[in-house]
Chain A
Amino acid sequence: MADDFRARAVLKPKGRLYEDFEVGQKFVHHWGRTIHEGDTTLFSSLTLAFNALYFNRDFAKAHGHPDIVVNPHLLFNVVLGLSVEDCSEIGGPFLGVYDLVYDRPVYPGITVTAKTETLEKRLSSSDPKNGIVTWRTEGFDTDGKRIVGFRRSNIVRLRNPREAA
């Protein structure tokens, strides 16, 4: 039976909805990621991030760095990316990021992990299908030292939409 595997398959769902969040809950996100020289050079080139610290090793060393500097916006995107499955994979659009701090320059070869705490959840006043959730997410190096931190908010769909008023 060619279709048998489909009939027997059980969906392995991913992501969380509004009801799955509670203020104060903490996530240690999956995977982590080593950021390579090729990652940051490609990211900087594709986004036209023209500061030579990000792609000229001699220039970076002449400014006292041991290597090219990892584009901090790549670092931020990796930390946010690692948080997506736990926080925002299926809920809805990304609204904004606030109070983002880059603690120090980092260099190729760094391994980054990410953690998040849920700060706030509220129902949308205009849309009975959605709420808004805000988290605080931080990225860490191998020694557990923080390298980036920020708050972000997303629209998150309700599993059980409220009755429209």
Chain B
Amino acid sequence: MTGRERFRPADHSNDHFLLTTVVGSYPKPTWLNRARDLRDDDDSSDFDADAWDEAVRDASRAITHEHEHTGLDVVCDGEMRREEMVEFFAERIEGYEFNGPVKVWGHNYFDKPSVVSEVAYDEPWLLDEYEFSTDVAQRPVKVPITGPYTLASWSFDEEYGSEETLAYELADLVNEELSRLVAAGARYIQIDEPALATTPDDHAIVGECLERIVADLPDDVRVGLHVCYGDYSRIYPEINDYPIDEFDVELANGDYEQIDVFADGDFEPDLALGVVDVHTTDVESVEQIEANICEGLTVVPPERLTISPDCGVKLLPRNVAREKIENMVRAARNVEAALDAGEIDLDCRTV
């Protein structure tokens, strides 16, 4: 079984199967943030690296199980080891250095790194995260990983003089990391490329990066691409040519104004559709999410529709994040049952 059916739980109650999953990040437990403060406090000599590792493992276990309790079909650990989507990887890639925070907006900053020499693979990036969460999970685990185009775009380039060249070099490193993850058993990978939304004219560069990323990967590895908050008419239908199994996109935030971009009948990959907004603490009702899921059925049939939040949910309060995901899973199961019963047709029209 190489398709998405292998992610169907053995006890799945409906004939139809709308694969439910997350994009990646999840709110960190408050105590983990306190543990980080202790780790970073030079005066706290009794909180050492071992204590930090234990705290991270505890958080990873707790969030993986929290995902499973919501009923998700494919889970992850909410990226408990990661603080920021570029920083985490830049810290592990040879050739990067950090010079301090830079402004994103208002008083919100991130440690934008500089590439100061040729980038090279040094140590595994996500192997610990994947192996630990797989070990504690009963459900299959997805691995979200920041894509090379975003790693290049959101860094200062002192070495290559060409963002395109840097992106391709980084794509080769992502490929190396994936080969290790796949050897460890990973079969569901999600490449996160939010920078593509900033500069959609670079869609061909992202396409070439993806070709390098998937080179020599076994056919049974499911590869998704996540993009968010962009003008999708500028990258579709070009994404049909990408070597991906699934395209994951946020559209709940924009009330599905752009769904028609993809609904031309020629959409090639599976669609992973965001059905809850991660930028509002209002928890969408099950009925509202069912209607959102139906938007996806205008693009792909149920067997090609994956259900997820718009984006990582880490900025939400933890209880809100959990309630949104619980409602999302309930809504997906309700739509499956309605499809089974013939109460709605494949365009989500009530029969």
Q: Is the A/B pair a real complex?
A: no
